[in-house]
Structure formats: structure tokens, C-alpha cells
Structure 1
Amino acid sequence: MSVRRFFSALPACFLLFAVFASAQENVQGKAQQKPVDPAKALDGFDDFVNQTIKDWHGAGAAVAIVQGDKVILLKGYGLRDVEKKLPMTPKSLCAIASITKSFTVSDLGMLMDEGKGGWDVPVRTVFPAFKLYDPVLTEQMTVRDLVTHRSGLPRHDMVWYSSDFSRDDLIRRLQYLEPNKPLRTTFQYNNLMFMTAGYVAGILDGKKWEDSLRARVLTPLGMNTTTFSLKELQSSPDFALPYQKGHDLKAELKRIPFEETCPDTCALGPAGELNSNAEDMSHYLLFHLNHGNYNGKQLLSENNSSQMQTPQMTIAGTPDYPELGETSYGMGFFISTYRGRKRLQHGGNLDGFSSIFTFLPNEKIGVVVLTNLDGSPLPDVIAFNAIDRLLGESQVPWSKRFLDSETAGRQSEADAKSKGYDLRKKGTHPSHDIKDYLGDYENPGYGIVSVAEEKDGLLVKLNKLTMHMKHYHYDVFEVPFDPQDPFAKQKLSFFGDLNGDISSLSMPLEPRVKDIVFTRMPDKQLTDHAFLETLAGQYNFPGDPTPTTIALRGDHTLVMGQPGAPERELLPRRGTTFDLKGLEGFSIEFKRDASGKVSEAVFYTPDTTIIIKRK
């Protein structure tokens, strides 16, 4: 089962649609307009949605529209299951991905309303084990920093994507992830910080994030069909299947597997793993449009609701279209202006699903659109059209704009390819035999990369993600271009040590920091107790009557020493070779005779090579 790339959808959407992401409030506002009759305003909207789904070669969409205190539209369009011709309905569950972030902030806000924690409290005050790469960030990071994308860390999404790491594992791995900006200086979207925020919510509430969110947010809002896992989603009687369209916009829909990172409980949950439907999400719209009040009950204080809807971090960039204002981020929401009105929103993108949750607080208009199409602007096109209608404004041709933009981008790619523009150095070869690259390589943050041989290339696995790589140039390998493969063009480079052995590899998994380096792991036999016992014994250096002892300490560690001298640990490398810990360039390789017994060892130093005989 192929694994799709969740994190790829967000940058693509953010670059293409950052224009409708978030912006600072237009303090001038718009002149008060005459009330719009929603029935008249939405006349023809159904036809528009159905045609837009066809234009984007989508599957289905579920839409909820709220005005004032009422849900004025709740419908499904198209299909939730194309193969079985099952219709999308307001009850069809879809992955809402990063829309989950505002749920996590709402939960935290409710806890703080009870006097538990605070937005500007250092994380370590609540969670002493919290540790980042930079000790200054570790000490100064606050809960507010976690939920405003100003932590100084870039995304580092490949740490969690397609991995079996638990939430505790991911928290522990944060200390190995390099930042690239000072704290609170730059907006950088980061799922792992939101995951940490959910972890903090669990600590404050004395229970798991899932249980806290269910009790404080979902149940009081009557969001009883919303789930925390894709396994739960698929056990529902009404759920949407995930689809993608090909690289060619006119290509047929392709059914893809549900994202495999967390079919059960998801480690990244607080950042983006809720599944919901239009009906439940209409309740959530009413909750935020009414500043934390739902059905007459103030679940979240107006103060914390206001903080969520107030800019906390500006986002650099200029909008591409005149209807859109500049960008900022609140807490769980992007903040923008649309046609002069303050607008809050957050999109959600997960393999095979795209969604948008947006509202205009001053006009009391809210729209949620859930679709089962991968990395698509379809939800935004539908939401913008609904807003235009309810504002009584002319309908902006968003669909045509985005279709034209996507077509131009793909044509530019095709032109570059046809002209042979490529950085590849032709006519080169790997420096080693292909078998020398095989093995496991580890990074303490990202996990293990396993390299195996397959026909015409390498089979590379990062956690549960599989990539088929071909030789690119020199010691660089690449995933060949495939419009259906989200990891197409991903590269990997091997590096050797002073002994000429392949000792590490690197991959550009986070473009805002240096390539991520994975160090070669020792052969598994070098930590096997029975194997190590065959190497232990006494050895004599030439001309030295005092024997050198190689001994087994514990189950998996060899040490080397002489009487009266401190022992030195032998670090396993590969084959029967070990490095001497703390001595660069010193190693020992054990040799077997014709009978298979270890009879001698070769001792390597930066200056010489010596044979030492076993007694």
C-alpha cells in the first residue's frame, strides 16, 4: 500500500492559497450593507457546487453554511464513494486534518479559563521534560508560542509522517530537530509544536488530549460523530473514501489508500487528525461565531475566544489578488480580510482529503467545505462563492483563476523538461559497488533509513515510507518522476569516511535547514551476544609481553584493555570491524582462519597497521 504525503499538500496549498490564508484585520471595515436574503443569495449555489466539482474532476463535497445563529445550508454534493456511486451527505465523515489545530487551542483555552496554566507560561513550567535542540528555546518557549507557529523551528514533518513513533517518542525527538530562526521572529508552520500543545493540554487536564477534547469541546457541542482515527472513520456507516487526480488536471480520479501514519490513535493528533462531517462542523462554526458560546452556554470565555481571533504573528508576503488582505496568524486560525471584511480560516489537507473552515465574525457568516480530493483548492472555491453571495457582492471567478494558475504551473514544468533543463551530471557512476551502500542508517530525530538492492536501483525505506530510487549522478540516487508519486524527485546522497567505507547518507527532508544526515548503523551481528563471545579473548601486540584483553561487558559491548590501564569500549561498525571509542582513526578488525575461528586481529591507527595474534 503506497503512502501519500500529507505535509506536501499544505505547502502547496499554502503557496497557492496563502492569499486566502490569513491577514491583519482591516480596521476601516466595510460600509454597512442592506441585509441579504439567504434564500435568494444561495439560488443557483447547488448548481455552482456541482459544476465546480466537475471542473476540478473531484469526487464529492459536503457543505455547511451558517448565518447569524442559524444553519442556512447543510448539504452533500457528488460522491463519497465513486466506485459504489454512494452520495456525499452532511453526515459523511472526512478527514479535516489541520482544522484540528483550533480544537486543540479551544481545549487549552477552556483549561486556562479554569485557572490551569496560561498562554505565556513557559512550557517547561508545566512539562519539565520538554527539551529542544536549542537550550534557549527550551527555556523560553511558551504555550502561546506553540500555537502561533513562531517557535523558530521549520516543519520537520518527515519525523512523524509514515512513522510508528508514539506521541512520547516524538516529544523526545524534538531535541534533535534543528531550528533555523530565533524565537518569535518568523512565522513557520509547525505541526510538531501543535502536537506538543495538545500534550500540554493533557498534562493540565490530567488525561490524554483525546479524552480532554472529547469532554470539553466535542461532547458539549454535540459533535458526536467526530472521530480521532481513520479506523473509527471507516467503521462509520457514512464515510468518504480518499481520491486524487493525476498530474494532468483532466486525468481520471484515482482511489488512494487512507493515510497510514496512524490508522488507530495518532501521535500527531492535536495537530491534525480529527475526522468530522458537515453537520458536526456546523456546530463548531456557531461556537466560534458566537465567541465561545453554544446554545446559550459559554464554553470558552470571550477573552480566550478573542485571543484566538486576534493576530499573534504576522506572515510575510503580498496577496496575489485584490480581494485579499495581508496575512497573520491568531491561535489556531489564519486571519485575513476578504473584500474588506475580517476573515478567519484554516484549511485541512490529508492524503485524499481537502477542507476549509472559514468565518467572517463581524458579518456572522461561516462556511465549512469538506471534500475527498487530495491537495485541491476545490473547498476554497466553493467557500468563496458562498461568501460572495451572502455579502451581496459579485461572484469572483475563483475557480477559473486557480485553474489557470495550475495549468500555467504545469505547462512551465513541461516546458523546462522539454528543453532539457536539468542539474544532473550525465555520464557519471557511483564510487562503490551497489552492495556497499546497503544497510541501515539512523538519525536520532528522524529515525532509520533502510537501503536494500532492487532491480535497476535501490529500495529505500524511511520508517514506513518506501521509495524506489535510481542512480542520478556520482553517489546521489533519486526517485524518478512519476505524477502519482508525492516523493518523485526526492534525492539521497551517500558519503564515505577516511577508510573509503560508506558511513552516512543525507536527504533534504527539511528544506529550511541543512540536509538531514543519517549515520550508518553497525551490522546487527556486532551486537549479538553469541557472536561477540567468539571475538573475546587475549591478544598479543608484537614485542609486548603483556596480553591485551578483549572482553564482553554486559550482553552487547566489547571492551579492550591491559592490566593497570583503563578499558576502552569498542564501537561496532560493520563486518568484524570495531572503532575505539574516543580515538579517531583507531579501529580493530577480527580475522578468522580456515576453520572459522578468530585467530588474529588487525589493529589500525592513523599512522600504521599492526597484526595482533590471539593467544
Structure 2
Amino acid sequence: MKLNYIGLCAGLIALSTLQNVNAQTLSASNSNKIERIESSVHKIMSTFQVPGIAVAIIKDNEVVLSKGFGVLKHGSKAPVNADTLFGIASNTKAMTSALLAGLVDEGKLTWQTKVIDIIPEFQLPDAYVTREFTIIDLLSHNSGLGLGAGDLMIWPETTLTNQDVIKGLKYLPQVSSFRSEFAYDNLMYVIAGEIIAKLTGQPWQEVIQTRIFDRLGMNNTRAKFSLIAKNNKNVARAHVPLDGKLNVVGGNFLEQFSSAGSVASSVNDMSLWLKAQLNRGQYDVDDTTLRLFSEQQSREMWQARTLLPVSQQTTAQDKTHFYAYALGWFVKDYHGVKVVRHTGGILGMVSKVVMVPEENLAMIILTNQQSGFALNALSQQILTEYLELPAKDWVEHYAKLQREKTIKKKTQLAKVAANIDKNSTPPLSLAHYAQSYVDNWYGEITISLTNDDLVMQFTNTPALLGKLVHYQHNTFIVRWDDRTLEADAYVNFKLNSDGSINFVTMKAVSESTDFSFDFHDLMLKPKAITH
């Protein structure tokens, strides 16, 4: 017995020693990963002119990294840390989807509930689509409307309300058949917020505060920028690079986008949200296990709904065979595992959430510059480390793509300049163009004649103010006073046979202009003939 006891003790000691060695090996391995990731962050900030980044990584239900790098504002010394607030923009969408999932669990609606059963005034251009449109359709970007359709009602910051958005939907152009194609649509998530408000009797921002932020302990997170305490100085500023110089821009995080993109959060708080996501809606409070939503609803939210194309090159490089939009999430396969992710972007600020449920891995990256290349370089580096993929210089990979994009943009704009007929003059006197115009879904814009210059102002959007510069014939280019918008647009006047103006169309000059500037969806009629 004594020998057996000694042998047992020796075995336990050996096992304990082996476990300690394994733990130390895993700890050392993770430390090496983190060291390489942090090195990439510094290289990314330098390469892509990003003043500040915050990043958190969750692995096996533990936060293995939560840290800030750089500064809140270019030229200042105030550092970014793990509690710094950034606009997470469209990463809000998954939260809105989760709120609806909770209401499904409560029996207040189903995913197949018709939108008109809750918001009777909801109306799209096609009567059949209006009648059949469900909650799933609301979240799946498959309405048949165009990319970013109607975003000018909420971006840049406007005086229009959510009720104005609902009224304007029926006037937007239908560009594809219902449920046939993917086209990213912020307005449908604004409507989703209205659904939540109708069913709960509370504004969306109060519902998300009580049902997600308070429950998870996301104490610094706010539903919109204006709810951030005035004395909170730990808030990142947004930056736009122009001609090699960083410009500080903005003063809010998509306040008008509400349930589509207005949340302000930090990597510490977002780690709590991602833990709940990886745990299929489950979270712990004081040794008690609670749920934001059921495991069934987690599966529903991560189920592919609207397919997106996958190129042969992507399949070869990333081993990706499917790519789709779910409910508030993009989903794809990547080197043999399912990836659930989303990005968020506003003027001067981008963010990214990535989850690999099979690996119990998640990350959140928040930046105060609008470089998607920086964002992708870091997320790919983290995936490479934790999926143990072959090493690759992701910074140089995306730096090369940025250089190619810059050259393409300059080439395209050079062609625009070269096409100008320098001998062309406006067919009408400038005074003829100076009048008010109305679009059915946006509202009124004015063109005034000031000191021999035509000036355009979107009445509901103070930031959209700029001079019209003659391009050729009856086409002008509006050059916005705020150059950081990077959204100059053609303004084309269509004439009647008697020389009067029939209608006006617009289109972004640069192919790189953000899709939320959906000028091409406008049909502006002179106000004088609309009454």
C-alpha cells in the first residue's frame, strides 16, 4: 500500500508538473502572439497614418488583450486606452438584431412577422414587396433598393426624423427584384429600431441601454454620441487624411443612424458583448447565468440569408467558398472555419468585429481614422496568429492595395478633368439655374446666385453646402465647402424644349465616394412647377 501511495503521489506530481508545463507553454505561445500583434499595430499606425487604435482579443472566454495605442487626437498627447469611446457605426446593427431576437424569445413577434403589421405606414415602391416584407427582410439587405439608398436622409447629419425616413422609402428607386440581390441598406435598420420602440413602448436608445448595456455591464457605452457625459474626455476624435495631412473632423458618431449605427463604445465594453455572442447569448452576473437571447436565436442571427459573390482569387487565397449576410452579421468560411464579422464606418473612423465560434475566438478593433486597409491588416494578422496560418506581411499587402487604389482614383479624376470642354459655357444665364428644387424622398435643395457664383445647399443637411463649377454644357460640379467629405458631384440640368429646366440629376464625381452619398437616387424638380 505504501508503494502504491508513493506511486500515486509520484503520478499526481508528474501530472501536475505536466499541466504546469503545458500552461506555461500556452502562456508563452500567447505572449508571442500578442507581441507580434502589438508590433503590427505600431507598423499599421505608421503606414496608414492612424493616430489611435484600440484592440481587444477574446480567446476561450478570456480577454487575452485589451489595450489602446496612440492618441485620441492627432497632435495631442492624450492617449487611447481600453476605455476610450469610439463610434462603432454599423457594428450597432448586430445589437439591434439581438434586441429583436430577445423580443422573438418573448413571443412579441416572429422573424416572419410582416413589417406592416407593426408599422402600417411602412411602404416601399412595390406594393407586393411592401405586403410581404418581414423582419428577416428588414435585416438582410435584400429589399431590391440600391446600395445605400436614401442614406442622404440621415447622412451627413440632417434635420429629418425617422418618420420622414419612413415616408420617403416609397419614392426610392427599385433597382433589383425583391430578395434577389444584396445591397447594403442602413434605412432598414432604422426601421428595425422603430419596430423595437413600437413593441416595447420605449425609444430604441433606452431599450438597448437597459437590455444590453446595463445587463452586460457595458458601463461606458452609450446608444448615441449626445448621451456621452460632457466631462468624459476619453473620447476619440475622427480623422480624414487629405494630401498627406490628417484633418480632425466631425463632432458626433452617426447620431441620425440610431439603430443602424449610432453606438459609442470601447474595447473593454465590447469584450463583454463579444463574450455573450460567443456564448450564444449567455452571460454571468454574480454567479448567476442569464441570457440576452436563446441559443436558437443565436443560430438564427448567424444563419446565411442573402448571398454575396466569391471570386476565384478569394477562394484560392482564403479558402473561402461562401459569403453571405445573416441578421446583423456577415458570415463566410475562411481556411476551414466559419467567420462571423461586421465592420463599421463613419467619416474619419472605422471599426471591425470578427468572431470564429469554432475556435472560441473574437476580436474588436476601433480606430480614429477611416483607413479600411489599416483595419483589415490588423484583423488578418490576428486571425493568422490564432488560426496558426502561414506567416504573411499583411501590412505590406494592404499598403500595396492602398497604393493601387490611390493611383486608380487619381487616374479617374484626371480623366474627368481632361474631359472638360474649356470652350463650353452654360446655355442658360446663371440666374436661370438659381432656384429651389424638390426631391420626393429627400426634400428641398436650393441653388442661389451669390457674387456671380452658384451655391448649392441641401436644405435639411447643413454640411452639404458648396459652389457649382461649370463642367460643360448643362453639367456643373458641386464642390462642397467641407473638403473632407470627398463627395463632389456632377449636377446635370435637363431642359424642356422651351429652354426651361425640367429636372436635375446628380452623381458622385469620384468612384471612391462613400456609397452613403447616394446623389444618383435624386430626381430634383424645380419647386415652382411642383405645386
Give the TM-score taking structure 2 as reference length: 0.86
Residue 80 of structure 1 contacts residue 239 of structure 1 at CA under 8 Å; is this kept in 2? yes
SS of residue in 2 equivalent to 1:432: coil
Aligned counterpart in structure 2 of residue 187 of structure 1, from 167, 171, 182 = 182
Counterpart in the other structure of 2:76: 84
CA 1:416–1:214: 2 relative to 1, 3 Å: closer
1:72 and 1:299 map into 2 onto residues whose CA distance is 24
Alpha-carbon distance change, 75 to 393 in structure 1, aligned in 2, over 3 angstroms: same
- Aligned counterparts of 1:369 and 1:410: Cα–Cα separation in 2: 24
SS of the residue corresponding to residue 479 of structure 1 reads strand
Asked whether 1:38 is paired with 2:20, we answer: no
Aligned to 2:61: 69
Match of 2:131 in 1: 139
Are the aligned partners of 1:457 and 1:471 in contact in 2 as well (CA < 8 Å)? no
Structure 1 residue 403 displacement after superposition: 1.0
- Kept in 1, the 8 Å contact 2:467–2:480? The answer is no
Deviates more, 1:440-449 or 1:39-48: 39-48
Task: Report the CA distance between 1:449 and its aligned residue.
Answer: 1.1
Cross-structure match for 2:278: 289
- Which one is further off, 71-80 or 238-247? 238-247
1:458-507 C-alpha deviation (Å, 9 max, x unpaired): 21112321132200111111035999443444111123335432343222
State how far apart, in whole Å, the 1-side matches of 2:239 and 2:319 are: 30
Percent of matched pairs sharing the same residue: 25
- In the alignment, structure 1 residue 476 sits paired with structure 2 residue 475: yes
- Does 130-139 or 40-49 show the bigger shift? 40-49
Q: Using the alignment, how far apart are the partners of 2:399 and 2:103 within structure 1? A: 44
- CA change 1:416–1:125 in 2 (3 A) is closer
1:380/1:230 CA distance change after superposition, 3 Å: same
Distance 1:381 1:324, change over 3 A: farther
**Is residue 220 from structure 1 mapped to residue 219 from structure 2 by the alignment?**
no
Counterpart of 1:255 in structure 2: which amino acid? V
Q: Does 1:490 align with 2:489?
A: yes
The whole-number CA distance in structure 2 between the counterparts of 1:453 and 1:198 is 41
Q: Distance in 2 between matches of 1:419 and 1:66?
A: 47
Question: How far 1:78 sits from its partner (Å)?
Answer: 0.6
1:517 maps to 2:497: no
CA drift at 1:173: 1.1
Q: CA deviation at 1:55?
A: 1.1
- Counterpart of 1:79 in structure 2: which amino acid? V
Give the whole-Å Cα distance in 2 for the aligned partners of 1:412 and 1:44: 32
* Contact 2:205/2:224, CA 8 A, preserved across alignment: no
> Residues 162-561 of structure 1: matches in 2 within 5 Å?
162=156, 163-233=158-228, 235=230, 236-247=232-243, 251-259=244-252, 262=255, 266=256, 268-295=257-284, 296-318=289-311, 320-321=313-314, 322-323=317-318, 325=320, 326-415=322-411, 422-454=418-450, 457-462=453-458, 463-464=460-461, 465-479=464-478, 484-508=483-507, 516-522=522-528
Unaligned runs of 5+ residues in structure 1 are 1-33, 523-570, 574-615
How far is 1:444 from its partner?
A: 1.7
SS across alignment from 1:472: strand
- Kindly indicate which of the two structures has a greater share of residues assigned to helix: 2
1:99 is matched with 91
State the AA in 2 paired with 1:187: F
Unpaired runs of at least 5, structure 2: 1-24, 509-514
Q: What SS is found at the alignment partner of 1:399?
A: helix
Are the equivalent residues in 1 in contact too, given 2:490–2:506 (CA < 8 A)? Answer: yes
Offset at residue 237 of structure 1 (A): 3.0
Q: State the secondary structure of the residue aligned to 1:45.
A: helix
2: CA distance, partners of 1:369 / 1:346: 11
Cα offset, 1:319, TM superposition: 6.3
How far apart, CA to CA, are the structure 2 residues paired with 1:481 and 1:215?
40
2:47 is aligned to: 55
Q: Which amino acid aligns with 2:182?
A: F
Structure 1 residues 507-535: Cα deviation after superposition (integer angstroms, max 9, x where no partner): 2378999752111113xxxxxxxxxxxxx
Provide the C-alpha distance between the structure 1 equivalents of 2:139 and 2:413, rounded to a whole number of angstroms: 41
Contact conserved, 1:244 with 1:253, CA < 8 A, in 2?
yes
**CA separation of 1:398/1:481 partners in 2, compared to 1, >3 Å: closer, same or farther?**
farther
Deviation string 1:235-260 (CA, Å, 9 cap, x unpaired) is: 2231101111125xxx1322113258
Q: Aligned in 2, Cα 1:420/1:512: closer, same or farther, shift over 3 Å?
A: closer
- Comparing 169-178 with 502-511, greater Cα deviation is found at 502-511
C-alpha deviations, 1:542-588, integer Å up to 9, x for none?
Answer: xxxxxxxxxxxxxxxxxxxxxxxxxxxxx787xxxxxxxxxxxxxxx
Cα separation, 1, equivalents of 2:416 and 2:497 = 37
404-413 or 351-360, which deviates more: 404-413
Bigger-Rg structure (1/2):
1
Task: Give the counterpart letter for 2:465 in structure 1.
Answer: T
Tell me the distance in 2 between the aligned counterparts of 1:443 and 1:90. Answer: 44
Residues in 2 aligned to 1:289 and 1:572: alpha-carbon distance in whole angstroms:
54
Q: 1:135 to 1:110 in 2, by over 3 A?
A: same
Question: Within 2, Cα distance between the matches of 1:319 and 1:153?
Answer: 27
Q: Residue type of the partner of 1:520?
A: P
Amino acid aligned to 2:474: D
- Residue 127 of structure 1 deviates from its aligned partner by 1.7
Structure 1 counterpart of 2:102: 110
1:93–1:233 Cα contact (<8 Å) kept: no
1:99 aligned counterpart, secondary structure: helix
Partner of 1:160: 154
Task: Return the letter of the residue paired with 1:370.
Answer: L
Task: Say what the alpha-carbon RMSD is for the aligned residues.
Answer: 2.5
